[in-house]
Amino acid sequence: MNPHVGVRITTLVLAGVATTVVAWLGLRMFSGSGGPEPGWVGVAAMLFLAGGLLAAGWQVRQVRDGRPLAHVTPLRAARTLVLGQAGALTGAVLVGWYLANALVLLPDSDIESNRSRLWVFVAHIVVALLLAVSGMLVQRWCRLRRRDDDENLA
């Protein structure tokens, strides 16, 4: 067993499903006809986070592949890895939260106001999924490649 495998996709799926179930139950019990009002600022913020994460991860990938970049230190690479893992987990939990909100609105989607809110939640789900995917991609980019002489150390 390798203790440094990072965040796994199964962990993200479990976090998303658990958040969906708990949030859906909570929203059904405690919210009336209202509920959270989604905004487009959340979509823009998550897109900004995913883009910044990908930019930082790309720089680490370039250094890992042999291109010298003086501003990418080992500490910065480690922080980028942790940021990628945090982005993946945050994206998975946000997918669950926004999915639960959309599922609560779905039965009344024939009402125009609920339908417009539902589309905003769908946009949030897609962008949160992009955040999770970018986090997993950055985690992969930060991983050192196995060398031939590494097998002799094990």
Tokens 């897609």 -> residue: 126
Q: What mean pLDDT is predicted for residues 54-75?
A: 89
Structure tokens at 84: 């990628």
Q: Identify which of 61-65, 144-148, 149-153 has the greatest average pLDDT.
A: 61-65
Predicted local confidence at residue 2, as pLDDT: 53
The arithmetic mean of pLDDT across residues 82-108, rounded, is: 94
Rounded to whole angstroms, the Cα distance separating 138 from 65 reads 14
Q: What's the DSSP call for residue 5?
A: -
pLDDT of residue 19: 97
Q: Using alpha carbons, list the distances in angstroms from residue 72 to 50, 58, 63, 99, 140.
A: 19, 11, 7, 37, 17
Give the span between the Cα atoms of 16 and 127, in whole angstroms. Answer: 14
Rounded Cα distance, 136 and 13, in Å:
13
Name which residue leads in pLDDT, 145 or 67. Answer: 67
User: Confidence class of residue 152 from pLDDT cuts 50, 70 and 90?
Assistant: low
Per domain, the residue ranges of the chain are 9-31+40-145
Percent of the chain past pLDDT 90, that is, above it, reads 62
CA distance to 1, 56, 81, 112, 136, per residue, from 33 (Å): 49, 42, 41, 14, 36
Task: Give the per-residue SS3 of 30-80.
Answer: HCCCCCCCCCHHHHHHHHHHHHHHHHHHHHHHHHHCCCCCCCCCHHHHHHH
Task: Read off the pTM.
Answer: 0.87
Residue 51 pLDDT greater than 90, yes or no: yes
